[in-house]
Structure 1
């Protein structure tokens, strides 16, 4: 854990692997937030109807959202799954959080799965939920701009 705090960027964070949202079991701790399409099975904290855009456009948009965020560093990219992962470092304490985004066909459009979770601590004071909502707002704005 100490190496995660004194590392920079994505260094010191456990090696990633693709996340399977169909089998994801959310932890009992309040330091995560999962957005899922309203058409997707399973439990999420937030839900959003699918977007009326092609999957590739949605994947480009969520990657652009991540690239524009402060203290956000690429962790893993799985283009065949249209999934990407990032490390987001807190400004004051350098705590690492992980954000995973995936887009896929859902209903008559493209669904967005967006999962933000803390690696350290039990509570996050709402940071992960606020991040998911902020990324979603920016994602929607990018899609509207085309």
Structure 2
């Protein structure tokens, strides 16, 4: 069975073990199939800057952990509470391709910073799927924090 066939399992099946992302050392792939949202000045990688969230890291972490629950074909793979980081797999509707999404909350002076990193495990192009996902999850996070 090919690696691509293994990765097209159901849920988290067939995927490599979940690993936290070290955002301080992250190097985005050369392919256009990944998107990163980060606090301003937190990385030199191409990304979408997320302004400081004026909430405690605990409140931001509680909201972040719930983001994947609203997504179709999304499964939580792992959480690392000591890092305030979580990882999900999101499967495409038509071909069941897996994308990985990591989110992390970092404490900053005056609030919290958020990292969201979505990337495809298969293929070179993603037709903007990961960037749209980051934008949608960012909007849901903002909404959840406003609702308190």
User: Do both share a fold (TM > 0.5)?
Assistant: yes
The CA deviation string for residues 17-68 of structure 1, in whole angstroms up to 9 with x for no partner, is 1110000011110000000001423224200111000111111111112111
Runs of 4+ in structure 1 over 6 Å off: none
| Equivalent-residue separation in structure 1 for 2:109 and 2:45 (angstroms) | 18
Q: 1:70 is matched with which residue? A: 72
> Is residue 3 of structure 1 aligned with residue 20 of structure 2?
no
Gaps of 5+ in 1: none
Gaps of 5+ in 2: none
TM-score using structure 2 length: 0.94
| Equivalent-residue separation in structure 1 for 2:134 and 2:5 (angstroms) | 26
| Equivalent-residue separation in structure 1 for 2:127 and 2:83 (angstroms) | 31
TM-score using structure 1 length: 0.96
> Is residue 108 of structure 1 aligned with residue 110 of structure 2?
yes
- Given that 1:35 and 1:48 are in contact with CA atoms closer than 8 Å, whether structure 2 keeps it comes out as yes
Aligned match for 1:37, one of 17, 36, 39: 39
| Equivalent-residue separation in structure 2 for 1:68 and 1:41 (angstroms) | 28
